[in-house]
Protein backbone atom coordinates (compact mmCIF):
# COMPACT_ATOMS: atom_id res chain seq x y z
CA UNK A 1 0.00 0.00 0.00
CA UNK A 2 2.83 2.40 0.82
CA UNK A 3 4.36 1.98 -2.62
CA UNK A 4 1.02 2.75 -4.26
CA UNK A 5 0.62 5.84 -2.02
CA UNK A 6 3.87 7.35 -3.31
CA UNK A 7 3.05 6.96 -7.00
CA UNK A 8 0.59 9.89 -7.37
CA UNK A 9 3.20 12.38 -6.15
CA UNK A 10 5.73 11.02 -8.66
CA UNK A 11 3.11 11.25 -11.40
CA UNK A 12 2.36 14.87 -10.51
CA UNK A 13 6.06 15.76 -10.69
CA UNK A 14 6.35 14.14 -14.12
CA UNK A 15 3.29 16.09 -15.26
CA UNK A 16 4.85 19.30 -13.89
CA UNK A 17 8.11 18.76 -15.78
CA UNK A 18 6.28 17.93 -19.00
CA UNK A 19 4.06 21.00 -18.57
CA UNK A 20 7.12 23.22 -18.11
CA UNK A 21 8.69 21.81 -21.28
CA UNK A 22 5.45 22.28 -23.23
CA UNK A 23 5.02 25.90 -22.12
CA UNK A 24 8.69 26.63 -22.85
CA UNK A 25 8.33 25.09 -26.30
CA UNK A 26 5.24 27.24 -26.89
CA UNK A 27 7.18 30.40 -26.03
CA UNK A 28 10.00 29.39 -28.38
CA UNK A 29 7.51 28.79 -31.18
CA UNK A 30 6.05 32.27 -30.64
CA UNK A 31 9.57 33.67 -31.02
CA UNK A 32 10.00 31.74 -34.26
CA UNK A 33 12.52 29.23 -32.90
CA UNK A 34 12.50 25.47 -33.02
CA UNK A 35 12.05 24.04 -29.50
CA UNK A 36 14.06 20.90 -30.30
CA UNK A 37 16.88 22.98 -31.74
CA UNK A 38 16.85 25.31 -28.72
CA UNK A 39 16.91 22.45 -26.21
CA UNK A 40 19.71 20.76 -28.16
CA UNK A 41 21.71 24.01 -28.11
CA UNK A 42 21.28 24.30 -24.34
CA UNK A 43 22.51 20.74 -23.86
CA UNK A 44 25.49 21.18 -26.17
CA UNK A 45 26.27 24.55 -24.58
CA UNK A 46 26.43 22.92 -21.15
CA UNK A 47 28.01 19.54 -21.93
CA UNK A 48 29.44 19.84 -25.45
CA UNK A 49 33.05 19.91 -24.28
CA UNK A 50 35.16 19.74 -21.13
CA UNK A 51 35.57 23.51 -21.25
CA UNK A 52 31.80 24.05 -21.32
CA UNK A 53 31.32 21.57 -18.48
CA UNK A 54 33.94 23.46 -16.46
CA UNK A 55 32.00 26.69 -16.94
CA UNK A 56 28.83 24.94 -15.74
CA UNK A 57 30.68 23.82 -12.62
CA UNK A 58 31.96 27.33 -11.94
CA UNK A 59 28.32 28.48 -11.92
CA UNK A 60 27.29 25.43 -9.90
CA UNK A 61 29.61 26.13 -6.96
CA UNK A 62 28.21 29.56 -5.94
CA UNK A 63 24.68 28.20 -6.34
CA UNK A 64 25.66 25.31 -4.06
CA UNK A 65 26.94 27.68 -1.37
CA UNK A 66 23.85 29.87 -1.61
CA UNK A 67 21.47 26.89 -1.62
CA UNK A 68 23.15 25.53 1.51
CA UNK A 69 22.72 28.89 3.23
CA UNK A 70 19.11 29.28 2.17
CA UNK A 71 18.27 25.86 3.59
CA UNK A 72 19.13 27.32 7.00
CA UNK A 73 16.95 30.43 6.69
CA UNK A 74 14.08 28.57 5.03
CA UNK A 75 14.16 26.05 7.88
CA UNK A 76 13.51 28.98 10.24
CA UNK A 77 10.70 30.27 8.03
CA UNK A 78 12.74 33.23 6.75
CA UNK A 79 12.87 34.50 3.16
CA UNK A 80 16.44 35.72 2.83
CA UNK A 81 16.00 37.70 -0.39
CA UNK A 82 19.07 39.72 0.60
CA UNK A 83 21.34 36.82 -0.31
CA UNK A 84 22.43 38.62 -3.50
CA UNK A 85 23.82 41.47 -1.41
CA UNK A 86 25.52 38.97 0.88
CA UNK A 87 27.33 37.45 -2.11
CA UNK A 88 28.47 40.92 -3.15
CA UNK A 89 29.70 41.82 0.34
CA UNK A 90 31.63 38.56 0.52
CA UNK A 91 33.34 39.39 -2.77
CA UNK A 92 33.94 42.96 -1.61
CA UNK A 93 35.52 41.95 1.70
CA UNK A 94 37.67 39.30 0.00
CA UNK A 95 38.84 41.79 -2.63
CA UNK A 96 39.70 44.42 -0.02
CA UNK A 97 41.78 41.99 2.00
CA UNK A 98 43.60 40.64 -1.04
CA UNK A 99 44.43 44.12 -2.28
CA UNK A 100 45.82 44.97 1.14
CA UNK A 101 47.88 41.84 1.80
CA UNK A 102 48.82 40.42 -1.61
CA UNK A 103 52.33 41.90 -1.50
CA UNK A 104 53.12 41.10 2.14
CA UNK A 105 52.02 37.47 2.66
CA UNK A 106 52.29 34.14 0.88
CA UNK A 107 49.53 33.59 -1.75
CA UNK A 108 48.09 30.55 0.06
CA UNK A 109 47.78 32.53 3.29
CA UNK A 110 46.15 35.44 1.46
CA UNK A 111 43.60 33.09 -0.15
CA UNK A 112 42.65 31.58 3.23
CA UNK A 113 42.36 35.00 4.87
CA UNK A 114 40.32 36.23 1.91
CA UNK A 115 37.94 33.30 2.37
CA UNK A 116 37.52 34.23 6.03
CA UNK A 117 37.00 37.87 5.06
CA UNK A 118 34.37 36.88 2.51
CA UNK A 119 32.66 34.71 5.09
CA UNK A 120 32.67 37.59 7.57
CA UNK A 121 31.41 40.13 5.04
CA UNK A 122 28.48 37.95 4.02
CA UNK A 123 27.68 37.05 7.62
CA UNK A 124 27.62 40.69 8.74
CA UNK A 125 25.35 41.66 5.85
CA UNK A 126 23.07 38.73 6.58
CA UNK A 127 22.87 39.57 10.27
CA UNK A 128 22.05 43.16 9.35
CA UNK A 129 19.03 41.89 7.42
CA UNK A 130 18.16 39.79 10.46
CA UNK A 131 18.52 42.76 12.82
CA UNK A 132 16.20 44.82 10.62
CA UNK A 133 13.68 41.99 10.77
CA UNK A 134 13.90 41.33 14.49
CA UNK A 135 14.55 44.76 15.98
CA UNK A 136 13.34 47.15 13.30
CA UNK A 137 10.17 45.26 12.37
CA UNK A 138 11.24 45.40 8.71
CA UNK A 139 10.08 42.41 6.67
CA UNK A 140 13.14 40.44 5.55
CA UNK A 141 12.01 40.57 1.93
CA UNK A 142 11.94 44.37 1.79
CA UNK A 143 14.98 44.74 4.02
CA UNK A 144 16.91 42.25 1.90
CA UNK A 145 16.04 44.01 -1.34
CA UNK A 146 17.17 47.33 0.12
CA UNK A 147 20.45 45.83 1.31
CA UNK A 148 20.99 44.28 -2.14
CA UNK A 149 20.71 47.75 -3.66
CA UNK A 150 23.14 49.24 -1.14
CA UNK A 151 25.71 46.46 -1.68
CA UNK A 152 25.51 46.87 -5.46
CA UNK A 153 25.83 50.65 -5.24
CA UNK A 154 28.80 50.37 -2.88
CA UNK A 155 30.52 48.08 -5.37
CA UNK A 156 30.03 50.59 -8.19
CA UNK A 157 31.44 53.35 -5.97
CA UNK A 158 34.55 51.33 -5.12
CA UNK A 159 35.13 50.20 -8.72
CA UNK A 160 34.83 53.76 -10.05
CA UNK A 161 36.49 55.40 -7.05
CA UNK A 162 39.03 54.13 -4.51
CA UNK A 163 39.64 50.77 -6.21
CA UNK A 164 39.57 51.87 -9.84
CA UNK A 165 42.22 50.64 -12.24
CA UNK A 166 45.14 53.02 -12.72
CA UNK A 167 44.23 55.46 -15.48
CA UNK A 168 40.87 53.77 -16.16
CA UNK A 169 37.48 54.87 -14.87
CA UNK A 170 34.97 52.24 -16.01
CA UNK A 171 32.66 49.64 -14.52
CA UNK A 172 34.76 46.79 -15.97
CA UNK A 173 36.09 46.10 -12.49
CA UNK A 174 39.11 46.46 -10.28
CA UNK A 175 42.63 45.51 -11.27
CA UNK A 176 42.70 41.70 -11.80
CA UNK A 177 44.67 39.69 -9.27
CA UNK A 178 47.77 37.74 -10.37
CA UNK A 179 47.46 34.03 -11.12
CA UNK A 180 49.18 33.20 -7.82
CA UNK A 181 45.95 34.32 -6.12
CA UNK A 182 43.72 32.02 -8.16
CA UNK A 183 42.49 28.71 -6.79
CA UNK A 184 44.56 25.88 -8.34
CA UNK A 185 42.97 23.70 -11.02
CA UNK A 186 43.87 20.69 -13.15
CA UNK A 187 45.52 21.54 -16.45
CA UNK A 188 42.97 21.79 -19.26
CA UNK A 189 39.97 21.86 -16.92
CA UNK A 190 39.30 25.36 -15.72
CA UNK A 191 37.57 24.71 -12.42
CA UNK A 192 39.30 24.23 -9.10
CA UNK A 193 38.57 21.01 -7.19
CA UNK A 194 38.94 23.07 -4.01
CA UNK A 195 35.86 25.19 -4.73
CA UNK A 196 33.81 22.14 -5.74
CA UNK A 197 34.77 20.23 -2.58
CA UNK A 198 34.06 23.25 -0.38
CA UNK A 199 30.62 23.68 -1.96
CA UNK A 200 29.73 20.01 -1.47
CA UNK A 201 31.08 20.06 2.09
CA UNK A 202 28.96 23.12 2.89
CA UNK A 203 25.83 21.38 1.62
CA UNK A 204 26.65 18.17 3.52
CA UNK A 205 27.30 20.03 6.78
CA UNK A 206 24.08 22.02 6.50
CA UNK A 207 22.09 18.87 5.73
CA UNK A 208 23.60 17.13 8.75
CA UNK A 209 23.06 20.15 11.02
CA UNK A 210 19.40 20.49 10.09
CA UNK A 211 18.68 16.79 10.55
CA UNK A 212 21.02 15.69 13.31
CA UNK A 213 21.60 18.59 15.72
CA UNK A 214 19.56 20.25 18.43
CA UNK A 215 20.07 23.62 16.76
CA UNK A 216 18.69 22.33 13.46
CA UNK A 217 15.61 20.84 15.11
CA UNK A 218 14.98 24.10 16.95
CA UNK A 219 15.27 26.06 13.70
CA UNK A 220 12.67 23.80 12.12
CA UNK A 221 10.42 24.27 15.14
CA UNK A 222 10.67 28.04 14.69
CA UNK A 223 9.83 27.68 11.02
CA UNK A 224 6.81 25.51 11.75
CA UNK A 225 5.33 27.63 14.51
CA UNK A 226 7.25 30.61 15.86
CA UNK A 227 4.94 31.28 18.79
CA UNK A 228 4.88 27.66 19.92
CA UNK A 229 8.70 27.53 19.71
CA UNK A 230 8.91 30.66 21.88
CA UNK A 231 6.55 29.22 24.46
CA UNK A 232 8.65 26.04 24.55
CA UNK A 233 11.64 28.13 25.64
CA UNK A 234 13.56 28.15 22.35
CA UNK A 235 15.65 31.36 22.00
CA UNK A 236 13.78 32.42 18.87
CA UNK A 237 15.45 35.76 18.16
CA UNK A 238 18.95 34.40 18.75
CA UNK A 239 18.37 31.43 16.44
CA UNK A 240 16.80 33.56 13.70
CA UNK A 241 19.74 35.97 13.80
CA UNK A 242 22.12 33.00 13.68
CA UNK A 243 20.26 31.63 10.65
CA UNK A 244 20.73 34.93 8.81
CA UNK A 245 24.40 34.98 9.80
CA UNK A 246 25.06 31.41 8.66
CA UNK A 247 23.29 31.96 5.36
CA UNK A 248 25.20 35.19 4.81
CA UNK A 249 28.50 33.49 5.63
CA UNK A 250 27.94 30.80 3.00
CA UNK A 251 26.85 33.43 0.47
CA UNK A 252 30.02 35.34 1.32
CA UNK A 253 32.07 32.25 0.47
CA UNK A 254 30.27 32.19 -2.87
CA UNK A 255 31.43 35.78 -3.37
CA UNK A 256 34.99 34.75 -2.52
CA UNK A 257 34.84 31.96 -5.12
CA UNK A 258 33.58 34.43 -7.73
CA UNK A 259 36.76 36.46 -7.17
CA UNK A 260 39.43 33.75 -6.83
CA UNK A 261 37.92 30.83 -8.79
CA UNK A 262 39.93 29.61 -11.76
CA UNK A 263 37.39 30.67 -14.40
CA UNK A 264 36.41 33.88 -12.58
CA UNK A 265 37.41 37.34 -13.77
CA UNK A 266 39.64 37.60 -10.68
CA UNK A 267 38.47 41.05 -9.73
CA UNK A 268 35.52 42.86 -8.22
CA UNK A 269 32.98 44.23 -10.69
CA UNK A 270 29.35 45.35 -10.56
CA UNK A 271 26.78 42.54 -10.81
CA UNK A 272 29.37 40.00 -9.64
CA UNK A 273 26.60 38.04 -7.91
CA UNK A 274 25.16 37.21 -11.38
CA UNK A 275 21.76 36.27 -9.92
CA UNK A 276 23.15 33.12 -8.29
CA UNK A 277 21.37 33.91 -5.01
CA UNK A 278 17.97 34.21 -6.67
CA UNK A 279 18.69 31.03 -8.64
CA UNK A 280 19.46 29.24 -5.39
CA UNK A 281 16.03 30.24 -4.05
CA UNK A 282 14.44 28.39 -6.97
CA UNK A 283 16.69 25.38 -6.33
CA UNK A 284 15.77 25.12 -2.65
CA UNK A 285 12.06 25.53 -3.33
CA UNK A 286 12.14 22.89 -6.05
CA UNK A 287 14.14 20.55 -3.78
CA UNK A 288 11.45 20.94 -1.11
CA UNK A 289 14.11 22.16 1.36
CA UNK A 290 16.15 18.96 0.93
CA UNK A 291 19.94 19.23 1.07
CA UNK A 292 20.31 15.97 -0.85
CA UNK A 293 18.15 17.04 -3.80
CA UNK A 294 19.58 20.56 -3.80
CA UNK A 295 22.91 19.18 -5.10
CA UNK A 296 21.70 17.73 -8.46
CA UNK A 297 19.07 20.45 -8.89
CA UNK A 298 21.63 23.21 -8.45
CA UNK A 299 23.81 21.53 -11.08
CA UNK A 300 20.80 21.22 -13.40
CA UNK A 301 19.96 24.91 -13.04
CA UNK A 302 23.59 25.92 -13.54
CA UNK A 303 23.66 23.83 -16.73
CA UNK A 304 20.57 25.60 -18.09
CA UNK A 305 22.01 29.01 -17.17
CA UNK A 306 25.31 28.40 -18.96
CA UNK A 307 23.88 26.33 -21.82
CA UNK A 308 21.28 28.97 -22.68
CA UNK A 309 24.07 31.38 -23.60
CA UNK A 310 24.29 29.47 -26.88
CA UNK A 311 20.80 30.71 -27.80
CA UNK A 312 22.17 34.23 -28.07
CA UNK A 313 25.45 33.23 -29.70
CA UNK A 314 24.07 30.91 -32.40
CA UNK A 315 20.40 31.81 -32.86
CA UNK A 316 20.30 35.50 -31.80
CA UNK A 317 17.75 34.62 -29.12
CA UNK A 318 17.88 36.21 -25.69
CA UNK A 319 19.84 34.01 -23.28
CA UNK A 320 17.30 34.90 -20.57
CA UNK A 321 15.09 32.20 -22.14
CA UNK A 322 17.03 29.81 -19.92
CA UNK A 323 15.61 31.67 -16.94
CA UNK A 324 12.14 31.37 -18.44
CA UNK A 325 12.54 27.58 -18.62
CA UNK A 326 13.79 27.48 -15.03
CA UNK A 327 10.91 29.63 -13.82
CA UNK A 328 8.36 27.54 -15.71
CA UNK A 329 9.74 24.39 -14.11
CA UNK A 330 9.58 25.78 -10.57
CA UNK A 331 6.12 27.26 -11.11
CA UNK A 332 4.79 23.97 -12.50
CA UNK A 333 6.21 22.01 -9.54
CA UNK A 334 4.73 24.44 -7.02
CA UNK A 335 1.32 24.37 -8.72
CA UNK A 336 1.22 20.58 -8.74
CA UNK A 337 2.29 20.47 -5.09
CA UNK A 338 -0.54 22.84 -4.27
CA UNK A 339 -3.00 20.66 -6.16
CA UNK A 340 -1.67 17.58 -4.36
CA UNK A 341 -2.12 19.25 -0.97
CA UNK A 342 -5.68 20.23 -1.85
CA UNK A 343 -6.52 16.69 -2.95
CA UNK A 344 -5.06 15.25 0.25
CA UNK A 345 -7.00 17.72 2.40
CA UNK A 346 -10.24 16.81 0.60
CA UNK A 347 -9.57 13.12 1.18
CA UNK A 348 -8.97 13.88 4.86
CA UNK A 349 -12.39 15.42 5.11
Distance between CA atoms of residues 308 and 312, nearest Å = 8
Is residue 111 within 8 A of residue 180, CB to CB? The reply is no
Cβ-based neighbours of 226, under 8 Å, separated by 6 or more:
77, 236
* CA–CA gap between residue 294 and residue 245 (Å, rounded): 20
Question: Could you give the CA distance from residue 283 to residue 262 in angstroms, rounded to a whole number?
Answer: 24
CA distances, 104 to each of 98, 101, 173, 174, 334 (Å): 10, 5, 23, 19, 52
- Mean pLDDT over 54-69 rounds to 94
3-state secondary structure of 241: helix
Question: Please, are residues 311 and 28 in contact by the beta-carbon 8 Å criterion?
Answer: no
pTM for the model stands at 0.89
Looking at residue 1, what is its pLDDT?
40
CA angle 309, 255, 59 (to 5 degrees): 25
236 CB-near residues (< 8 Å, 6+ apart): 222, 226, 229, 230
pLDDT of residue 118: 97
pLDDT greater at residue 213 or residue 317: 213
Tell me the percentage of the chain whose pLDDT exceeds 90. 53
Instruction: Assess contact for 114 and 98: CB atoms under 8 A.
Output: yes
Mean model confidence pLDDT for the chain: 87
Which pLDDT score, from 0 to 100, does residue 6 have? 45
Asked if 243 and 219 count as a contact pair (C-beta separation under 8 A), the reply is yes
Furthest-apart CA pair in the chain: how many Å? 73
pLDDT band at 261 (very low <50, low <70, confident <90, very high): confident
Range of 2-16, 110-124, 289-303, 329-343 with top mean pLDDT: 110-124
| Cα gap 148→70, rounded to integer Å | 16
Which of 6-15, 76-85, 242-251 comes out lowest in average pLDDT? Answer: 6-15
Amino acid sequence: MNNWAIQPSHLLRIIAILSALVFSAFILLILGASPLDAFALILSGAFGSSTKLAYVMTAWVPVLFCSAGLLVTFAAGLWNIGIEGQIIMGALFATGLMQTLQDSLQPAVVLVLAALAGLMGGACWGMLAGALRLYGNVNEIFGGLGLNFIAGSLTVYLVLGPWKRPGIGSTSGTQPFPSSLWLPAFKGFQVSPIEVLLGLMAMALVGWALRGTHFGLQLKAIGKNLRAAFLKGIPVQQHMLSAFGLCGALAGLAGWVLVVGTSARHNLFPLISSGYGFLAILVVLLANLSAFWSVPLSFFFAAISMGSLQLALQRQLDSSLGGVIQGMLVLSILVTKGLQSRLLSRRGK
